[in-house]
Amino acid sequence: MTIIYGIKNCDTMKKALRWLDENQIAYRFHDYRKDGLERELLQQWLDQEGWENLVNKRGTTWRKLDSAEQEDMPNRAVELFQQHPAMIKRPLLVHENQITLGFKAEIYQALFQINK
């Protein structure tokens, strides 16, 4: 099952969800804020991607963290991502145990083997 994680009102999320719908890809949507995130899942993502790839440093959530929290991110990533899920890049798509961060139609096309 393909799962897409993010926040419903994010413009990039809307593009990704629309793309999945238009291409008739079955998926389940998991809203970071509404549904929360389990420590074990976050740790899996961190093990696979590293906190540097998961954090959205351009977002206001990251910029609002004080410098001590930002510097301690390597040690507290799970805790900070649970407290501030909007800090995680989105969408985060899990398909066949592979993580894809962000949305680019050509990457999704290749991932789902869709010829256009």
Q: Tell me the per-residue pLDDT of 6-41, one tens digit each, with 9 for 90 and over.
A: 998 999 999 999 999 999 999 999 999 899 999 999
Residue 23's pLDDT is what?
Answer: 96
Position 54 pLDDT exceeds 80: yes
E strands in the chain: 2-6, 27-31, 92-95, 98-101
Contact predicate 93/16, CB 8 Å: yes
Range of the structural domain that residue 18 is part of? 2-111
Q: Does residue 115 surpass a pLDDT of 80?
A: no
CATH number of residue 32's parent domain? 3.40.30.10
Instruction: Please give the tally of structural domains in the chain.
Output: 1
pLDDT tens readout for residues 75-87: 999 999 999 999 9
* Confidence (pLDDT) at 109: 95
Tokens 């949305």: give the residue: 103
On the question of a cis peptide bond just before residue 91, with omega within 30 degrees of 0, the verdict is yes
Tell whether 82 is covered by a domain: yes
Confidence at residue 114, expressed as pLDDT on a 0 to 100 scale: 81
Residue 116 lies in a domain: no
User: Residue 4 CA to chain centroid, in angstroms?
Assistant: 8
Which residues belong to the active site?
Answer: 10
pTM: 0.92
pLDDT at 111: 95
